[in-house]
Structure 1
Amino acid sequence: MTTSTRPERILIVGGGYVGLYTALRLQRKLKTGEATVTVVEPQSYMTYQPFLPEAAAGAISPRHVVVPLRSVLPKCRIVTGTVEHVDHANKTATVELIGGETYPEPYDLLVVAPGSVARTLPIPGLAEWGIGFKTVEEAIALRNHVLEQLDTASSTRDPSIRDHALTFVFVGGGYAGVEALAELEDMARYACRYYHNITPADMRWILVEASPRILPEVGEDMGRYTVAELRRRGIDVRLNTRLESAVDRHVVLSDGTELDASTLVWTAGVKPSPMLLSTDLPLDDKGRLRARATLEVDGVPGVWTAGDCAAVPDLTKPGEEFTGPSAQHAVRQARVLADNIVARLRRQPQRQYRHKYAGSVASLGLHKGVAQVYGIKTKGLPAWFMHRTYHLSRVPTVNRKMRIMAEWTLALMFRREIVSLGSIEHPRAEFEYATRGDRRRTG
């Protein structure tokens, strides 16, 4: 008589870079009946964040920078919800669905990759007026907001309201802050041609960075060039400067500057997801999961981690303890992670993650960029082309690649679309206005 064994249950917490690419590789490499894969993610899609600045500027449709999990992971079970607690001692995760229902999700092998969240500070007014830049929803909202400010400035007769609307403050000089500011300033500069009473010189764009340099990933020389390029475009770059207060949209900087701004974008770094605090897994002093080079959680067999939430040893740089929180590392770590899970199932040896950082590319608006790849420094149009080419190669699925390429091709032949759809953030506003008169008649 034969006995059957059930497939191993693999639970993946998070559907970002690590979660999606791990699941993609597992569904290709696992044999039928060898294991089941469940992915728990609050959104039903993965966002390719390096293209968010272009989505905000209208160069790419927002729906093309997201990847629907269910369509690309047909062999996996997708649960739209959040993991509230992990009890690894009993190999159970508590999942809260989007409807509020909670239930226990048992597992045999676990991948913890919830990613990161914005690292905020207790600055007065920041929580009330700040805008983040980590999600496609924030990118869409920021695009609509910037264009609405141009409409406001063009329509008002009050000089103070006009100045307030045309002042844009970005805090954080990393990838997200610099690319978002550069793309949106480029878009707004173009949009000015459609306003009879607004010129690019009327707008005030300010980048605030607490350290003495921006874009440290592209090297010191390219960082200095970026500062010079932004200042040449009239952007006010403040280095060694901090945001002190933003109460009632009145911005106070550490260098003594005070101004009113309708737009405050916060991109000053990230921190590991707070979800990790609700586990019984080992964390380091920065709240990251302690990982081995095999991407297994240190001292916890059967649990793997990678990406922003993990402290992964960097075997290529003995002097630097951990790999950086970049998409480049996350995607490559996911492949090794998936292979090691398959090796564990088949009782084969696991391999260590080792990848030498190739370099960085950054966009500074249409046809402008900086890059340092394998020690080669590039700027302007070649760097911008490298940025697009590299990230296009990393977007999951041929479907998404072709759609993005089609949009870029069409953009060569037609003008930018400059329209604010801010009303989509309040879809019931028109209906509520229509019913207001009915209530007055029946009241």
Structure 2
Amino acid sequence: MIVGGGFAGHRCARTLSRLARGAADIVLLNPHDYFLYLPLLPQVASGALDPRRVAVSLTGTLPGVRLVLGEADGVDLDGRRVTYTDPEGGRSTLAYDRLVLTVGSVNKLLPVPGLTEHAHGFRGIPEALYLRDHLTRQTELAGASDDPAERAARTTFVVVGAGYTGTEVTAQGVRLTDALARGNAGLNGTYAGAATDAGEPVRPRWLLLDIAERVLPELDRRLSRTADRVLRARGVDVRTGTSVREARRDGVLLDDGEFVPSRTLVWCVGVRPDPLVESVGTPTERGRLCVDEYLTVPGHPEVFACGDAAAVPDLTRPGEVTPMTAQHAQRQGAVAARNVAASCGRGEARAYEHHDLGFMVDLGGFQAAADPLHVPLSGPLASLVTRGYHLAAMPGNRTRTAADWLLDAVLPRQGVQFGLVRSGSVPLDSAAPELARVPAPGGG
């Protein structure tokens, strides 16, 4: 049984299916029926990609694997059972001979007053769809307002966290809101009413905050400088060494005392392991399950863990654990599958060891920062390499994704909102950001 269908879980199921060749019953327990290609989620929020492009069918790409829809909420190691809640609220259990925990991560929270009430994270399709609607709605409301202060607040967007996600959300988001503002008569100066300050166009304002000293602090400084240069050229107010002291309905109070009127706060400060990890009852390190170099949970040779949920020893950096990245998760999933097979008498177990192959950050348009095989690249070449890497890494939807990119390059984006995901459906403190929360009957 594999719990979780993310980068590690999907690769583990796919590899194990190929190794087993029908000789084993492989069950994948996951809350939804798709694998989310998370690195392209910012492009969904900005309207560059259809959300279906980043959602790859599990049943369509995992032949020989039985999919069980449900959210795991408990693990009985002694009884070798996993309890879960299905999409209709029913509770059930599944027995296993071998268990692979690849439950991933959720939004990391900090004790900032008002944060969970007024901020939104960015870990799933519901949050991306909400953000796209929200950016469109705020721009349209600003264009309809006669109050300059309200207009400025609605067109001010604050992103906290300048890592991968925050940087890409900002880079993609500013291109969307600029396009929306250019097409809005109330903001582009073509409407002669009071809302445009005598014809002066209004340009949306983006702030990217991080307590670190630079953008993309976990990456090479050359990539950081490239991303910083692109963001500032697009008008982004990049503030390092700065964070949020308090989140309010009408804006954010920064830790330097400045109050920024805004209706948008996107929280991208990092991730934490899925809460299921706490219920397993085995030792953890910084919230991640302790495993050995073979991805086995000590004392339980039938239990494996990898991806963001596991503190995997990094054999390339003795004394450290592998970072929580998709690159490591995918490769750990493949190793876990081989070691599961080895525990059943097929093949030999091997330790996990991987030297990173470089990192890539898509900044939208023809801009990116990349260092494939540690060769620093920027501009259109980096963009081409980055998108080529994503197409190669995706387990499906490649042609449709490439077609969306082509259309986005030659056609204007559609600035419409559907209102399908409401604010209360994607709370920041959700333990399942991949699922929109459904209001209880009679709850409005």
Q: Is the structural similarity TM-score above 0.5?
A: yes
Give 1:22's match in structure 2, choosing from 12, 29, 32.
12
Identify if the C-alpha distance between structure 1 residues 359 and 216 changes in structure 2 by more than 3 Å, giving closer, same or farther: farther
User: Which has the greater radius of gyration?
Assistant: 1
The amino acid across from 1:315 in the alignment is L
Partner residue of 2:411?
414
CA distance in 1, matches of 2:327, 2:181: 36
The amino acid across from 2:415 in the alignment is I
Report which stretch shifted further, 216-225 or 235-244: 216-225
Q: Secondary structure at the match of 2:39?
A: helix
Partner residue of 1:438?
none
Partner residue of 1:281?
282
4+ aligned runs moved over 3 Å, structure 1: 423-426
- Tell me the CA shift for residue 18 of structure 1: 1.1
Partner residue of 1:5?
none
Correspondence 1:154-193 to 2 at 5 A:
154-193=143-182
CA distance in 2, matches of 1:228, 1:26: 44
Q: CA RMSD in A?
A: 1.7
1:352-402 Cα distance to aligned partner (Å, 9 max, x none): 1111011111011211111122221111111121211111111113xx111
In the alignment, does 2:28 pair up with 1:31? no
Correspondence 1:192-271 to 2 at 5 A:
192-199=181-188, 202-271=203-272
CA distance in 2, matches of 1:423, 1:294: 44
Partner residue of 1:316?
316
- Tell me the CA shift for residue 274 of structure 1: 0.9
Q: Is the 8 A contact 1:242 1:254 kept in 2?
A: yes
Q: Secondary structure at the match of 1:202?
A: coil
More helix by share: 1
- Tell me the CA shift for residue 424 of structure 1: 6.0
Partner residue of 2:298?
298
- Tell me the CA shift for residue 215 of structure 1: 1.0
Partner residue of 2:193?
none
- Tell me the CA shift for residue 25 of structure 1: 1.4
TM-score (normalised: structure 2): 0.89
CA distance in 2, matches of 1:415, 1:247: 34
Q: Secondary structure at the match of 2:56?
A: strand
CA distance in 1, matches of 2:220, 2:136: 33
Partner residue of 2:90?
101
- Tell me the CA shift for residue 31 of structure 1: 3.1
Q: How many residues align?
A: 411
- Tell me the CA shift for residue 124 of structure 1: 1.3
Q: Is the 8 A contact 1:129 1:249 kept in 2?
A: no
- Tell me the CA shift for residue 347 of structure 1: 5.2
- Tell me the CA shift for residue 351 of structure 1: 0.7
CA distance in 2, matches of 1:218, 1:383: 15
Structure 2: runs of 5 or more not aligned: 189-200, 424-444
- Tell me the CA shift for residue 293 of structure 1: 1.4
Give 2:43's match in structure 1, choosing from 42, 54, 57.
54
Q: Is the 8 A contact 2:121 2:266 kept in 1?
A: yes
CA distance in 2, matches of 1:94, 1:214: 41
Correspondence 1:77-156 to 2 at 5 A:
77-156=66-145
- Tell me the CA shift for residue 425 of structure 1: 4.6
Q: Is the 8 A contact 2:166 2:268 kept in 1?
A: yes
Highest relative contact order (Cα 8 Å, sep 6+), 1 or 2? 2
Identity across matched positions, percent: 37
The amino acid across from 2:94 in the alignment is E
Correspondence 1:383-398 to 2 at 5 A:
383-397=382-396
1:289-345 Cα distance to aligned partner (Å, 9 max, x none): 111111112332011111111111111223x51111111111111111111111221
TM-score (normalised: structure 1): 0.89
